[in-house]
Amino acid sequence: MSLVLSSPEFQDGQPIPTRYTCDGENISVPLQWSDAPANSRTFALIVDDPDAPSGTYTHWVLYNMPATVHSLAEHVSTQATLADGSMNGMNSARKSGYTGPCPPGGTHHYHFKLYALDATLTLKPGATKDQLSSAMQGHIVAQTELIGTYRRNR
Tell me the CATH number at 51: 3.90.280.10
Single-letter amino acid, residue 84: D
Mean pLDDT, rounded, of the chain: 96
Q: 80: which DSSP letter?
A: S
Q: Do residues 36 and 3 touch, judged by C-beta distance below 8 A?
A: yes
Q: Which residues of the chain have pLDDT under 70?
A: 1, 154
pTM of the model: 0.97
Domain that holds residue 139: 4-150
Residue 130's CB is within 10 A of a number of other CB atoms, namely: 11
Q: Do residues 116 and 140 touch, judged by C-beta distance below 8 A?
A: yes
Share of residues in the chain with pLDDT > 90 (%)? 98
Nearest to 132 by CA among 43, 57, 68, 67: 43
Number of compact structural domains in the chain: 1
Looking at residue 50, its pLDDT comes to 97
